[in-house]
């Protein structure tokens, strides 16, 4: 039986300062690669966002959402599902946040001034959910790793963005997630439509809305897409 493939971690040029491809180019790439949908997770204002922090909040949110909106428009044209999320940064650690929308962001500028535990609690209270992206990433800009295992819904145990000398970051993330019985997911952390799609999840049924992703993860009703293969979710 065919499975449905989804990218959980993707950047666009419109929203992320470090991405090289437009939202539409990304959508074309995923469609051509046999994927069924993508979650656009551009770097939020506390990360490498393409939008200046100098402009007023609502305008900033409006501009930030262009990556998702352009992707959605293209996705609707060619038949690829597109969902909204963002990658929230806290002192060098990154938290993929899903289940809330542009209108919600417009009303909540205070999320910029929260500690990470407070942020995660607030997101959950408002109906969103969080995947800790690449928790053991090592880069020059990261001074320390922040782990909040009781505050996240899943761990990105397979991330396609690590430098080759740091491939162990993934096995550490799997070890970490498993030891807290947190679900393990995979994501490409895609910044370019030219590169390989390394990660994602494979679901038995199509994801129709963002909340379906949380159900899939909670009930373990998925497998991982990793480097061209569909593999079981590692469990302890
Ligand atoms: Zn980036
Ligand atoms: Zn990312």
The rounded Å distance from CA 1 to ligand 2 centre is: 31
Which comes out higher in pLDDT, residue 167 or 8?
8
Query: Residue holding tokens 């498993």?
Result: 178
DSSP assignment string, 32-50 = HTT--EEEEEEE-TTSSBS
The rounded Å distance from CA 215 to ligand 1 centre is: 27
The rounded Å distance from CA 65 to ligand 2 centre is: 15
The rounded Å distance from CA 110 to ligand 2 centre is: 22
In-domain check, residue 75: yes
Task: Write down the pLDDT at residue 153.
Answer: 98
Task: Write down the pLDDT at residue 167.
Answer: 80
> Are residues 183 and 158 in contact, defined by beta-carbon separation less than 8 angstroms?
no
In-domain check, residue 236: no
Which ligand is the nearest neighbour of the Cα of 7?
A: 2
In-domain check, residue 107: yes
In-domain check, residue 31: yes
Domain that holds residue 161: 4-231
Exposure pattern of 80-96 as b/e (b: 16+ CB <10 Å)?
bbbbbbbbbbbeebbbb
Alpha-carbon distance of 92 to 89, in angstroms, equals: 6
Q: Write the CATH number for 49.
A: 3.20.20.140
Q: Which tens digits make up the pLDDT trace of 20-67?
A: 999 999 999 999 999 999 999 999 999 999 999 999 999 999 999 999
Q: Which tens digits make up the pLDDT trace of 175-221?
A: 999 999 999 999 999 999 999 999 999 999 999 999 999 999 999 99
Domain count, the chain: 1
What does residue 27 show for φ and ψ, rounded to 5 degrees?
-60, -45
How much is the mean pLDDT over the chain?
Answer: 96
Task: Write down the pLDDT at residue 162.
Answer: 86
Which ligand is the nearest neighbour of the Cα of 50?
A: 1
Which ligand is the nearest neighbour of the Cα of 19?
A: 1
In-domain check, residue 100: yes
Which ligand is the nearest neighbour of the Cα of 96?
A: 2
The rounded Å distance from CA 220 to ligand 1 centre is: 28
What does the DSSP 8-state code read for residue 9? E
Q: Which tens digits make up the pLDDT trace of 99-136?
A: 999 999 999 999 999 999 999 999 999 999 999 999 99
């Amino acid at each position: 039986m065919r499975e449905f493939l989804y990218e959980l971690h993707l950047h666009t040029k419109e929203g992320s300062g470090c991405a090289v491809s437009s939202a539409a180019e990304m959508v074309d790439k995923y469609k051509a690669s046999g994927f069924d949908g993508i979650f656009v997770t551009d770097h939020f204002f506390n990360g490498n966002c393409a939008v200046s922090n100098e402009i007023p909040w609502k305008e900033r949110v409006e501009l930030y959402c262009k990556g998702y909106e352009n992707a959605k428009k293209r996705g609707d044209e060619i038949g690829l599902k597109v969902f909204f999320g963002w990658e929230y940064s806290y002192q060098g650690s990154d938290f993929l946040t899903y289940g809330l929308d542009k209108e919600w962001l417009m009303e909540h500028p205070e999320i910029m001034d929260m500690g990470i535990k407070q942020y995660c609690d607030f997101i959950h209270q408002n109906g969103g959910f969080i995947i800790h992206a690449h928790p053991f990433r090592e880069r020059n800009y990261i001074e320390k790793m922040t782990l909040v295992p009781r505050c996240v819904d899943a761990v990105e145990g397979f991330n396609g963005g690590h430098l080759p000398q740091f491939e162990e970051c993934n096995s550490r993330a799997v070890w970490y997630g498993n030891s807290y019985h947190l679900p393990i997911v995979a994501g490409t952390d895609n910044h370019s439509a030219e590169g390989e799609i390394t990660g994602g999840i494979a679901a038995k049924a199509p994801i129709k809305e963002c909340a379906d992703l949380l159900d899939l993860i909670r009930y373990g009703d998925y497998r991982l897409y990793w480097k061209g293969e569909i593999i079981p979710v590692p469990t302890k």
